[in-house]
Amino acid sequence: MNLKPLSDRVILKACEAEETTKGGIILTASAKEKPEMAEVVAVGPGGMVDGKEVVMTVKVGDKVITSKYSGTEVKVDGQEYTIVRQGDILAIVE
């Protein structure tokens, strides 16, 4: 990947959506919801953002939950990524 996030930005790769429901029903691609869980693939350096010091708390490899429609989607080398601000990340999944 040739993306390097700046300031408080984080690059995420979506985790795969479930293809079957708990009841065993197979979902088509259009019926799947946009996944809210993603894996962190790159983290910016943090620093001064809008006059405030931002310390990056997420790291590469973390599984995180984001707001449903947050960030900017980009496609690099056939792979889709989402670029979000660290503040758009709601939780780290442990």
Neighbours of 38 (CB within 10 A): 23
> Phi/psi zone of residue 78: left (φ > 0), alpha (ψ -120 to 50 degrees), beta?
left
* pLDDT over 50 (residue 32): no
Q: Which domain holds residue 80?
A: 9-93
**CATH number for position 83:** 2.30.33.40
Is position 68 within any domain? yes
Is position 1 within any domain? no
**pTM check: above 0.85:** no
* pLDDT over 60 (residue 53): yes
What total of structural domains would you count in the chain?
1
Cβ atoms of 11 and 82 within 8 Å: the answer is yes
Is position 2 within any domain? no
- Structure tokens belonging to residue 8: 């408080």
